[in-house]
Amino acid sequence: MFPACRYSLQARKCIRALKVVQAEHVAPQVYSTRCSSSTVPRITTHYTVYPRDKDPRWEGVEMERFADEADVVIVGGGPAGLSAAIRLKQLANQHEKELRVCVVEKASQIGAHTLSGACLEATALNELIPDWKERGAPLNTPVTEDKFSILTEKYRIPVPILPGLPMNNHGNYLVRLGNFVRWLGEQAEELGVELYPGYAAAEVLFHEDGSVKGIATNDVGIGKDGSPKDVFERGMELHAKVTLFGEGCHGHLAKQLYKQFNLRENCEPQTYAIGLKELWVIDEKKWRPGRAEHSVGWPLNRNTYGGSFLYHLNEGEPLVALGFVVGLDYTNPYLSPFREFQRWKHHPSLMSTLEGGNRIAYGARALNEGGFQSIPKLTFPGGMLIGCSPHTHTHNKSAFFTFLLTIVYSALFSFQSFVSFHSPAPICKELTVASQRAPSCLSRQFLDRISFGVGLDSAQLKPAKDCAPIEYPKPDGKISFDLLSSVALSGTNHEHDQPPHLTLKDDSVPVAQNLAVYDGPEQRFCPAGVYEYVPLETGDGMRLQINAQNCVHCKTCDIKDPSQNINWVVPEGSGGPAYNGM
């Protein structure tokens, strides 16, 4: 189609409206409302959408950044980033070389943004830190019981798990991944890795030849309206010979790198799921430490991918980690992953475990679902992508081809394996990072979904008028809960006086498209209540309200927005959830 960017804003609006009419046969009255729109209230103020060099409020503000040099800079202090840092320092010590490794992490402390099931296969850890047990790694719960079921509204159908299948968890550990990551951080610091939690990598820096030079951390002290405050200070530049990007699923810098280096040109688009998780302290009589339970089926229908996990942890208290995963290629815009999760807990088989218990934590995160064919090119001049940032579990490949309905929820992390890569640094000629993926695969209704390349998750939603709204039960406050009290439990918070980091390329699209055609699905797929359509003060029409402070950094909106208008950028460092051992 003709490049819309060459046209004026008005023309673009009309072109977009025309596209929608042609594609969706939208009712005439909706079309006319959009074309005769009054001024749309300003939502986005972030400088990535409104550059500061053209903004008069920024005239004369000192924009130079302090720069420092390291050998390796790692973006993301999660399992991948920390393992890479540890391995690099181990190699450097082995070869008696000096190596400055810096890790920047947007969470205020290591592990605070980590969320996973999780079921960990220790093979990689055995290679990385063979004496992990003596060093006190928090792998306290070996899997002793593996249960898998298909749920219907009232019943639970057990499915036997045969040894040898990828979903067999025997020999693995149920872990609180946040605690494991925190421990990895301590190991890294011991080896001399410089850890900087509370500082987000906001920008990728490039050399003149186009290779990656390093990153710049976030600026601080920008007001909600995008203007500089008294406490404004520029972020810092960290230059490195090699920059590793371990941002986790759908990282915002990785998104830029895909485009910059065309990393996705020879692979299938990535598909995702959203995982929601809670920690419960349950009645001791119901506690079975070491038991891993998974299910598929109810409350999701045949066309929606997803399932649940429930792990009994052995960490002193009778603690269980439970959660629900929904594939983000779902088609019904009325679906709410959060409410499916809350509804699932009312299944009779669950109620018996949870009754009398207490919920102590909540969180959510998107995860990769695409298989081997969705893995992009990982290396580029000056750096590479590691961990979940590019891709996911190799076990998924085999899972695609099994015909048993099974589910093993992934430990969400993977170590990157490569034999050698071209690095300008003479020091690191050969880097080996132990590679292993925890067995994973979410249930796929294999008989229905043999096709690959279904396309982008964001393109799967059907218009609201073609779908039936879903009647979700009201939360009872004991087993199921409302969204806002759940978000409070995540401990999430952000400095309120900063530009919303959920940026919109075009502020008029949410009402004109998302609300008009899809009934505002972002109100439902966001697990933190960030997006709300509220009536305009003038009374006629609606506007989108973005409660950026609630964001739990799950990235679902960036993935699922049918207009692909939402671009998640990193907020000021230290903001976000305060997960404790999730």
Partner 1 sequence: MSARVLVGVKRVIDYAVKIRVKPDHTGVVTDGVKHSMNPFCEIAVEEAVKLKEKKLVKEVVAVSCGPQQVQETIRTALAMGADRGIHVEVSGKDYETLGPLQVSKILAALAKKEQADLIILGKQAIDDDCNQTGQMTAALLDWPQGTFASEVNIEADKLKVVREVDGGLETIKIKLPAVVTADLRLNTPRYATLPNIMKAKKKKIANVKPADLGVDVSSRLEVLKVDEPPQRQGGVKVETVNDLVRKLKEAGRI
CA distances 468 to 328, 344, 409, Å, are 18, 20, 29
Q: Is 271 a catalytic residue?
A: no
Residues 322-381 that bind partner 1 (CB under 8 A): 360
Residues 550-579 that bind partner 1 (CB under 8 A): 578
Q: How many residues bind partner 1 (CB under 8 A)?
A: 31
Q: If binding is defined by CB under 8 A, does position 220 make contact with partner 1?
A: yes
Q: If binding is defined by CB under 8 A, does position 225 make contact with partner 1?
A: no
Question: Could you tell me if 308 and 162 are in contact, meaning their C-beta atoms sit under 8 angstroms apart?
Answer: no
> Which neighbouring-strand residues pair with 296?
150
Q: If binding is defined by CB under 8 A, does position 66 make contact with partner 1?
A: yes
Residue among 106, 88, 105 at smallest CA distance from 97: 88
Number of other residues whose CB lies within 10 A of the CB of residue 171: 10
Measured distance CA(432)–CA(195) in Å, rounded: 21
Q: If binding is defined by CB under 8 A, does position 401 make contact with partner 1?
A: no
Q: Which of 44, 109, 374, 563 binds partner 1 (CB under 8 A)?
A: 109
How many residues are listed for the chain in this entry? 582
Residue of 119, 428, 441, 557 with catalytic role: 557
Q: Is 551 a catalytic residue?
A: yes
Q: Is 410 a catalytic residue?
A: no
CA distances 388 to 12, 101, 250, 410, Å, are 36, 21, 8, 11
Q: Is 557 a catalytic residue?
A: yes
Measured distance CA(5)–CA(123) in Å, rounded: 50
Name the one range near partner 1 by CB under 8 A: 108-116, 363-371, 409-417, 530-538: 108-116
Measured distance CA(488)–CA(473) in Å, rounded: 21
87 vs 182, beta carbon nearer partner 1? 182
Q: If binding is defined by CB under 8 A, does position 532 make contact with partner 1?
A: no
Q: If binding is defined by CB under 8 A, does position 491 make contact with partner 1?
A: yes
Residue of 44, 83, 116, 486 with catalytic role: 116
With both helix axes pointing from N to C terminus, report the angle between 28-35 and 9-24 in degrees, rounded to the nearest 10. Answer: 170
What residues contact residue 157 under an 8 Å CB cut-off, 6+ apart?
149, 150, 151, 297
Measure the CA angle with vertex 469, ends 464 and 473; round to 5°. Answer: 150
Q: Is 249 a catalytic residue?
A: no
DSSP class of 402: -
Q: How far is the CB of 241 from partner 1 (least distance, A)?
A: 19
Q: If binding is defined by CB under 8 A, does position 230 make contact with partner 1?
A: yes
Question: Could you tell me if 317 and 462 are in contact, meaning their C-beta atoms sit under 8 angstroms apart?
Answer: no
Q: If binding is defined by CB under 8 A, does position 281 make contact with partner 1?
A: yes
Q: How far is the CB of 110 from partner 1 (least distance, A)?
A: 11
74 vs 384, beta carbon nearer partner 1? 74
Residue of 52, 176, 365, 524 with catalytic role: 365
| Residue ranges binding partner 1 (CB under 8 A) | 66, 68, 104, 108-109, 111-112, 178-179, 182, 196, 199, 217, 220-221, 230-231, 233, 235-236, 281, 317, 360, 488-489, 491-493, 578, 580-581
Q: Name the residues annotated as catalytic.
A: 116, 365, 392, 526, 551, 554, 557
